[in-house]
Amino acid sequence: MSDINIILIRHGEAAASWSEDPDPGLSKNGHKQAESLLMHDSYQDLSGYQFISSPKLRAIETSNLLAKKFNKNVEIDETYTEIPSDGVLMKDKMEWLGKIASMPINNLPIGVVDWRKKIISALLSIQVNTVIFSHFMVMNALASFENDAGKLLSYYPDYTSSIKIIIRNESIISIQIDKEKKTKINI
């Protein structure tokens, strides 16, 4: 079986934080970051790729220019959405996320465990080269799975950074992590 190439791209900077707005679009800077993807060496030939996005506006907006460049429709897939935080008040989300991020994987709430398993299973079953526009914790769910980290948070992806994954026979054979944030304060 041939290798499947998957590129996960984190959305650009949002216009509001996760604890202020459940679905903000991109900030002015976020739009510039999304535009910079057009010039990125790794994204010059995506004609043979399918495009998938989280349903969150910031991920969709990040996908728009690359999708237009390659005349692609972007499939919206709930699998690659934000970490589920049902029942957590907006004002408490950042504190909650900090606890979840550093919690041993075996102690995560069942909703987060199921979310992570669904992401991993969906990714391993992809059959064609794919670009996925997604989120900080989705990228961490995959990176922590591949490097067998004991907790969900294993690195700090910067805005519009990527993870490049090669799948063969429904197994990850290679994972390459792009740039991390320079500061690790706001996850």
The verdict on residue 42 lying in a domain is yes
The verdict on residue 187 lying in a domain is no
pLDDT at residue 28, rounded to an integer: 98
The verdict on residue 186 lying in a domain is no
Mean pLDDT over residues 50-79, rounded? 98
73 φ/ψ angles, rounded to the nearest 5 degrees? -85, 145
* Residues 6+ away with beta carbon under 8 Å from 129: 4, 5, 6, 48, 49, 50
Q: SS3 letters for 120-173?
A: HHHHHCCCCCEEEEECHHHHHHHHHHHCCCCECCCCCECCCCEEEEEEECCEEE
Residue type, 132: I
Q: What does pTM read for this prediction?
A: 0.94
Mean pLDDT of the chain: 93
Percent of the chain with pLDDT over 70: 95
The verdict on residue 57 lying in a domain is yes
Mean pLDDT over residues 10-33, rounded? 95
The verdict on residue 185 lying in a domain is no
pLDDT over 90 at 104, yes or no: yes
pLDDT over 60 at 182, yes or no: no
The verdict on residue 149 lying in a domain is yes
List the CATH number of the domain containing 132: 3.40.50.1240
Least trusted range by pLDDT, from 1-10, 43-52, 147-156: 147-156
The residue range of the domain holding 41 is 4-177
Query: What's the pLDDT tens digit per position in 131-156?
Result: 999 999 999 999 999 888 889 998 89
pLDDT at residue 185, rounded to an integer: 46
pLDDT over 50 at 62, yes or no: yes
Percent of the chain with pLDDT over 90: 83
Q: Band of the pLDDT at 181, cuts 50, 70, 90? A: low
pLDDT at residue 149, rounded to an integer: 80
Mean pLDDT over residues 113-136, rounded? 97
pLDDT at residue 186, rounded to an integer: 47
The verdict on residue 127 lying in a domain is yes
Q: Total structural domains in the chain? A: 1
Mean pLDDT over residues 15-43, rounded? 94
